[in-house]
A = this chain, B = another copy of it.
Amino acid sequence: MTVDLLALTAELVDIPSESRHEGPLADHVEAVLRGVDGLAVVRVGDNVVARTQLGRAQRVVLAGHTDTVPANGNGEARIDGDVCWGVGTADMKSGLAVMLDLARTVTQPVVDVTWIFYAREEIAAEHSGLLELQQERPDLLAGDVAILGEPTGGEVEAGCQGTMRLEVTLRGARAHTARPWMGRNAIHRLGDLLVTLDRHEGRRPVVGGCEYREALGAVRVEGGVAGNVVPDEARLLLNHRFAPDRSPDAAAAHVVEVLAPHLEPDDVVEVVEVAPAARPAVDHPLVAAMVEREGLAVGAKLGWTDVARFSELGIPAINLGPGDATLAHTAGERVERRAIERVHRALRGLLTLGAGEPSSAP
């Protein structure tokens, strides 16, 4: 391996690309890809797509987002030994470095490849660059299997949990706080419900060999009229993460069932946002061969990623990237050379060997 993948990661970190400001990084990526023989490059907004057109039997989509969360005193890359520090190192410019290097070095893959570098993944789903591509050029997303470079610590995280937000509104009756017994305190009514939420144990279903772990909890609370008024309304926003054995409707019904003992006829529970789960796609022959060849661990993805978007399109998808998800979005974000090289080797094998055996021991 002649390229220094850690240095390449640092180079990408040093092109700032906070969400909605991905233009310069997209320009850079586009320029690199346009320099590669045999790649058909398309730019849609700040998204860049490059495809081989070799007439292979199968097409693999390798996708990664170019944006990062806002820097937190770590806007510039810093390499210390075999570790690169900086915003986006883990999530997911180390993954982009792997993609970019493979795109220019593996020019005769055994499968056709679609490289997707897309914008605005770190903000609300409605702004997603992948959604923009899906709406403007759905043909560019076509493929037999998709691999996203989201941080997984160099292992395979299969499928992803769905996520939904529900707003719960509890009612009461106003009164002067000098005579609270004339009314009913809606904020007090939250008490039993929050106790139930706090004690709630999420299911841990095994789906396609992966154990998921559901979660349900409050992410926002608000209520109150004035300093001398018994409040007649309290609102709670919940986030529910649900495993891929449940549809959004079934997941919402489950939440209502958990809350039911504390709800009264005038209360309201409303799903305000939902993204479906994706079943694990580790049985696809190309993925299964890579896992076997590299001895990768396979686990469940607990967070939501764009694998769900591919899954909805009927394209099985997995997450595989060098970063550590628990370091993403932190001031101490970093990535290790070994993890980047591990993912590089796994994906190189997939592109050059397909579902076959390694040509030689590593």
A-to-B contact residues, CB < 8 Å = 161, 163, 165, 176-182, 185, 187-198, 215, 217-231, 234, 236-237, 239, 241, 273, 302-304, 326
Contact = CB atoms under 8 A, between A and B. Distances in A.
Looking at A217, A221, A302, the one whose CB has the most chain B CB atoms below 10 A away is A221
B223 A221 contact: yes
Contacts of A273: 227
B219 A231 contact: yes
A176 B224 CA distance: 28
A228 to B, nearest CB: 6
B191 A194 contact: yes
Contact of A176 (B190, B194, B303): B303
Contact of A218 (B182, B231, B302, B303): B231
A134 to B, nearest CB: 22
B221 A190 contact: yes
A217 B184 CA distance: 10
A229 B224 contact: no
A77 to B, nearest CB: 24
Given A178-B161, A234-B221, A241-B178, A190 B188 contact: no
Interface of A is mostly: mixed
A178 B302 contact: yes
Nearest to A231: B219
A187 B238 CA distance: 11
A43 B180 CA distance: 38
A193 B191 contact: yes
A220 B233 CA distance: 10
Contacts of A178: 161, 163, 215, 241, 302-304
Given A194-B190, A241-B178, A302-B179, A219 B215 contact: no
A187 B230 contact: no
Contacts of A222: 221-224
A191 B188 contact: no
Given A177-B215, A191-B192, A194-B194, 11 more contacts: A163-B178, A178-B304, A185-B198, A187-B220, A191-B194, A191-B196, A218-B231, A219-B228, A222-B223, A222-B224, A228-B239
A261 B162 CA distance: 37
Contact of A187 (B176, B192, B221, B326): B221
A178 B300 CA distance: 12
6 contacts: A177-B241, A178-B241, A185-B217, A191-B191, A218-B231, A219-B228
A180 B224 contact: no
